[in-house]
């Protein structure tokens, strides 16, 4: 964040500046610009018209997720940790049920910041985050920086490995099954699942790491018959607990039959907080004089364009 520098008169400072001053207060000397350092410490250093008021640009972070009974608590826990770490000046959380573009409009409209980072707290992009969420960005008064979802992250992979090991000890005779939502028309859920599966195959001792999905093949209902080991642990990839993780996945995996351990989602696991913080840091760290637009930048621009009516007003 680059500071905004404006020259203003400062009565409070000029009141402290007297001809007999031996130098400026230490916490103010760096605010004087355009003069040699020796002049700053000269007895006549304190011309009030030369006082520079440095105003730092403000930023905010918004965590977004689909509404579920657990969503508010999960997002709230992450938001509290990120506030404590001062990742941004303010941290907000928001959920949607059906139409994120309209339901989140009021949230973004109420944020007063020069720059707003938006991080979807989910395993991967879905239609709601590629099309719906960006449509609400036009309500922001400042710049919006859309980030990749928290799910595809090394910290999340590590947490999945730990969560699986709590239920089934890694070994050549054990299988680790990653269960995602999937999608009939987008590749992001599969890409995220493959990302974790590849890393887990390399970093753990599980003899087999496989994936399955609710909405695409390989189907979750076939997963227990497709694994090759007797000891099996299934980890749901959605980060926020929902009906899908609490009911649909266990039912289709036939968890009640036994012979397969099913873990809870990562939810408010500290690793997810780390992944969110990393998303913000990545976007800050990638800033250059000639930045390359990310996929999320393109989503944000397209969402705002589609959300505008014929007069260019955001809906």
Contact 55, 89 (CB under 8 A): no
Q: How many CB atoms are closer than 10 A to CB 284?
A: 15
pLDDT at 19: 36
- The torsion of the CA quartet 291, 296, 138, 93, rounded to 10 degrees, works out to -120
The topology (CATH level 3) of 59-151+271-307 is Rossmann fold (3.40.50)
- Helix, strand, coil shares of the chain as percentages rounded to 5? 40, 20, 40
Same fold, 59-151+271-307 and 154-262: yes
Q: At 138, list the tokens.
A: 């036009």
How far apart (Å, rounded) are the C-alpha atoms in residues 51 and 46?
A: 8
Q: What is the pLDDT of residues 205-232, one digit of tens each?
A: 999 999 999 999 999 999 999 999 999 9
Sequence-ordered strand ranges (E) for the chain = 4-7, 52-55, 59-66, 90-96, 115-120, 143-146, 174-180, 208-213, 231-236, 261-262
Contact 107, 94 (CB under 8 A): yes
CATH number of the 154-262 domain: 3.40.50.1400
Helices (H) then strands (E): counts for the chain = 13, 10
Query: Half-sphere exposure of 304 toward its Cβ, with a 13 Å CA cutoff?
Result: 16
Q: How many CB atoms are closer than 10 A to CB 34?
A: 8
pLDDT grade for 292, boundaries at 50, 70 and 90:
confident
How far apart (Å, rounded) are the C-alpha atoms in residues 141 and 110?
A: 9
Q: Which sign, positive or negative, has the C-alpha torsion 152, 158, 164, 168?
A: positive
Q: What is the mean pLDDT of residues 94-113?
A: 96
How far apart (Å, rounded) are the C-alpha atoms in residues 215 and 238?
A: 13
pLDDT at 36: 42
Q: What is the pLDDT of residues 47-76, one digit of tens each?
A: 544 444 557 799 999 999 999 999 999 999
Give the sheet arrangement for strand 143-146, strand by strand: 90-96, 59-66, 115-120, 143-146
Domain ranges of the chain: 4-55, 59-151+271-307, 154-262
Q: What is the mean pLDDT of residues 250-263?
A: 97
pTM over 0.85? The answer is no
């Amino acid at each position: 964040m680059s500071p905004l520098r404006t020259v203003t008169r400062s009565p409070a400072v000029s009141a402290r500046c007297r001809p007999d001053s031996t130098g400026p207060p230490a916490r103010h000397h760096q605010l004087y610009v355009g003069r040699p350092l020796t002049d700053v410490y000269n007895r006549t250093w304190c011309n009030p018209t030369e006082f520079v008021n440095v105003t730092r640009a403000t930023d905010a972070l918004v965590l977004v997720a689909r509404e579920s009974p657990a969503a508010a608590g999960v997002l709230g826990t992450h938001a509290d940790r990120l506030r404590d770490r001062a990742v941004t000046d303010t941290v907000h959380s928001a959920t949607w049920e059906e139409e994120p573009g309209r339901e989140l409009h009021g949230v973004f409209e109420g944020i007063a910041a020069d720059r707003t980072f938006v991080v979807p707290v989910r395993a991967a992009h879905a239609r709601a985050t590629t099309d719906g969420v960006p449509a609400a960005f036009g309500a922001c008064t400042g710049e919006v920086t859309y980030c990749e979802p928290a799910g595809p992250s090394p910290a999340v992979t590590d947490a999945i490995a730990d969560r699986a090991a709590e239920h089934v000890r890694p070994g050549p005779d054990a299988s680790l099954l990653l269960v995602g939502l999937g999608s009939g028309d987008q590749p992001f859920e599969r890409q995220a699942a493959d990302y974790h599966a590849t890393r887990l195959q390399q970093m753990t001792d599980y003899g087999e790491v496989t994936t399955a999905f609710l909405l695409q093949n390989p189907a979750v209902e076939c997963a227990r018959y497709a694994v090759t080991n007797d000891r099996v642990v299934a980890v749901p990839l959605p980060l926020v607990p929902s009906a899908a993780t609490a009911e649909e996945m266990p039912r289709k995996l036939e968890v009640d039959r036994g012979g397969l351990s099913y873990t809870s989602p990562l939810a408010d696991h500290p690793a997810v907080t780390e992944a969110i913080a990393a998303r913000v840091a990545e976007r800050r760290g990638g800033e250059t004089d000639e930045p390359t637009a990310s996929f999320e930048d393109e989503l944000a621009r397209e969402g705002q364009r589609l959300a505008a009516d014929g007069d260019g007003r955001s809906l």
